Structure 1
Amino acid sequence: MNEAFFRLGIFLILFALLGLAETFYPRRPLRVGKSQRWGSNLGLLVIDVLAQRLTLGAIVFAAALLAEKEGWGLFHLLDWPFAIEALITLLVLDAAIYLQHVATHKVPLLWRLHRVHHTDLDVDLSTGFRFHPVEILLSALYKAGIVLALGADPMIVLIYEAALSAFSLFTHANLAIPPRWDRHLRYLICTPDMHRRHHSIDQPETDSNYGNILSLWDRLGRSYFEAPRLGQDGVVLGLAEEQDAARLALGQLLLLPFTAGRQPR
Structure 2
Amino acid sequence: MMIDSTTEVWIRLGVFIGVLALMMCWEALTPNRKSPVSKLARWTTNFGLIFLGSLVVRLLIPAGLGAVALWAQQHNIGLWNQFSVSLWWSIPITVVLFDCLIYWQHRLFHRVPLLWRLHRVHHADPHIDVSTGLRFHPIEIGLSIAIKLVAVVLLGAPLMAILIFEVLLNATAMFSHANIALPKNIEQLLRKVIVTQTMHRIHHSQIVSETDSNFGFNLSIWDRLFASYTQAAKNGDTGINIGLKEYPTQKSNSNLVHLLLMPFKNKPTGYK
TM-score where L is the length of structure 1: 0.96
**Counterpart residue number, 2:144:** 139
- Structure 2: gaps of 5 or more residues: none
Letter in 2 for 1:163: L
Distance in 1 separating the partners of 2:249 and 2:40: 16
- TM-fit CA distance, 1:246: 1.9
- Asked if 1 retains the 8 angstrom alpha-carbon contact of 2:195 and 2:220, the reply is yes
Letter in 2 for 1:108: P
**Counterpart residue number, 2:263:** 257
**Counterpart residue number, 1:89:** 94
TM-score where L is the length of structure 2: 0.94
The Cα offsets for residues 67-91 of structure 1, whole Å up to 9 and x where unpaired, read as 1111111111222221111111011
**Counterpart residue number, 2:59:** 54
- Asked if 2 retains the 8 angstrom alpha-carbon contact of 1:173 and 1:192, the reply is yes
**Counterpart residue number, 1:224:** 229
Distance in 2 separating the partners of 1:16 and 1:257: 30
SS at match of 2:9: helix
**Counterpart residue number, 1:106:** 111
**Counterpart residue number, 2:160:** 155
**Counterpart residue number, 1:167:** 172
Among 194, 198, 204, the residue aligned to 1:199: 204
What pairs up with 1:25-64 in 2 under 5 angstroms?
25-64=30-69
Distance in 1 separating the partners of 2:134 and 2:68: 23
Distance in 1 separating the partners of 2:130 and 2:63: 23
Distance in 2 separating the partners of 1:63 and 1:260: 37
SS at match of 1:252: helix
Distance in 2 separating the partners of 1:165 and 1:247: 25
- Structure 1: gaps of 5 or more residues: none
Identity %: 43
The Cα offsets for residues 206-249 of structure 1, whole Å up to 9 and x where unpaired, read as 00000010001000011111121111111101111012312321
The answer to whether the aligner puts 1:72 opposite 2:74 as a matched pair is no
Distance in 2 separating the partners of 1:125 and 1:244: 18
Among 236, 239, 244, the residue aligned to 1:234: 239
Distance in 1 separating the partners of 2:125 and 2:252: 11
Number of aligned positions between the proteins: 265
- TM-fit CA distance, 1:37: 0.3
SS at match of 2:179: coil
The answer to whether the aligner puts 1:120 opposite 2:125 as a matched pair is yes
Segment of structure 1 superposing worse, 240-249 or 216-225: 240-249
- Asked if 1 retains the 8 angstrom alpha-carbon contact of 2:91 and 2:160, the reply is no
**Counterpart residue number, 2:249:** 244
- Asked if 2 retains the 8 angstrom alpha-carbon contact of 1:59 and 1:144, the reply is no
- TM-fit CA distance, 1:58: 4.3
- TM-fit CA distance, 1:59: 4.5
Distance in 2 separating the partners of 1:61 and 1:109: 30
- Asked if 2 retains the 8 angstrom alpha-carbon contact of 1:52 and 1:58, the reply is no
Distance in 1 separating the partners of 2:65 and 2:266: 32
Following TM superposition, the consecutive aligned residue runs of length 4 or more in structure 1 with deviations greater than 3 angstroms are 262-265
- Asked if 1 retains the 8 angstrom alpha-carbon contact of 2:199 and 2:231, the reply is yes
- TM-fit CA distance, 1:262: 4.4
The Cα offsets for residues 140-191 of structure 1, whole Å up to 9 and x where unpaired, read as 0101111111111112101111110111100100012000000000110000
- Asked if 2 retains the 8 angstrom alpha-carbon contact of 1:59 and 1:141, the reply is no
